[in-house]
Structure 1
């Protein structure tokens, strides 16, 4: 679980791997085609809902974007009237989605989503502390991950908009293809349980040694 501290009425969330941030930045500067980065904690809600009928559309109005229709895919969520991208809706199974937001307060967002889902027999549960995220970028990002992942990570098989629950090394992760950056380098995201996060980072650091410039 992420460490938290109270400052007035604002709760500050500390990344469970905060002590590794500098190490990853320094290592990334020495790598050719790979960069490893910790992402800031976000609000996350596990949504259970019958995909048939009007339920997904009703929840989408609160979430900030449509829920993906196909398993193992994700769509972008936006926040506020400015429609700024702030999160994702990831379909994990026939009736399960993981919704994330960098702009929402977890407890407020959970309540709003649960209220929208309830009339259709659905539920929304705050799971913000259940996962943390690591970003893997660069021209060799897919090659790095492929050395410890059994799924086909080639762009034609795992393009932007895809996600998959899989193993990296021996740890369960949720792998997300975010696309490519402005320079055409791959951009992938790993959701991992905090209890396995240290192991996953150690695995990434070890596997990345072959990309030292």
Structure 2
């Protein structure tokens, strides 16, 4: 009988560390999100074909994302998008998108193993991010619909605000930097659990 390989997320076993954070800061991993890099001319027929497959329009403005019922499309650069979903397997999304855009000069490739996703929530979530991020995090500037590529501490991330109050963020980070960033976020959050004497 052959052994079965079981995939482990980059932050497998970190639940205990995350549970020790103060009440005003919550950190969890959202592992195994399907992620596909999509290159397509947004103005051409390939853009429409990709949107039809995904059930969501592709964003037209830099540093934005559009969330649909089943998928989210994140603008990474001119004619480059990151598609994320939890409802379909990576291979399925890759094949569907590749079939739709290849005839129009586009490409799609599964990059799901490249990144993991952290969810940072709580009344001090924005304060934690501000310790290591140079962009303006105020919800009037960075609110729902934004998706910025930036540095958080020493890790390159895609930062997606999920509410208009600065209390809920999704952070996409390369798997090789996931442990470093998780440690940094835990350390940055510690002060919010200190009770003044």
Using the size of structure 2 for normalisation, the TM-score is 0.91
More strand by share: 1
Where structure 2 has 5 or more consecutive residues not aligned to the other structure, the ranges are none
SS of equivalent to 2:151: strand
Alignment of 1:165 with 2:149, yes or no, is yes
- For 1:22, the equivalent position in structure 2 comes to 16
Distance 1:110 1:53 in 2: 19
- For 1:150, the equivalent position in structure 2 comes to 134
Tell me the alpha carbon deviations over residues 139-175 of structure 1, each in whole angstroms, 9 at most, x when there is no partner: 2111110110011000011011101111111111111
Distance 2:152 2:162 in 1: 18
Distance 1:72 1:50 in 2: 17
- For 1:178, the equivalent position in structure 2 comes to 162
Tell me the alpha carbon deviations over residues 73-96 of structure 1, each in whole angstroms, 9 at most, x when there is no partner: 011132xxxxxxx33110111110
Any conservation in 1 of the 2:139–2:166 contact (CA below 8 Å)? no
SS of equivalent to 2:96: helix
Supply the RMSD in Å over aligned alpha carbons: 1.7
- For 1:113, the equivalent position in structure 2 comes to 97
Any conservation in 1 of the 2:42–2:58 contact (CA below 8 Å)? no
Distance 1:111 1:163 in 2: 25
The list of structure 1 runs, each at least 4 consecutive aligned residues, that deviate by more than 2 angstroms after superposition, is none
Using the size of structure 1 for normalisation, the TM-score is 0.85
Distance 1:99 1:77 in 2: 11
1:6: Cα distance to partner?
4.1
- For 2:183, the equivalent position in structure 1 comes to 202
SS of equivalent to 1:23: helix
Q: How many residues align?
A: 192
1:185: Cα distance to partner?
6.5
Where structure 1 has 5 or more consecutive residues not aligned to the other structure, the ranges are 79-85
SS of equivalent to 2:150: strand
Any conservation in 2 of the 1:41–1:132 contact (CA below 8 Å)? yes
Any conservation in 2 of the 1:13–1:41 contact (CA below 8 Å)? no
Distance 1:114 1:94 in 2: 18
1:120: Cα distance to partner?
1.6
Any conservation in 1 of the 2:42–2:48 contact (CA below 8 Å)? no
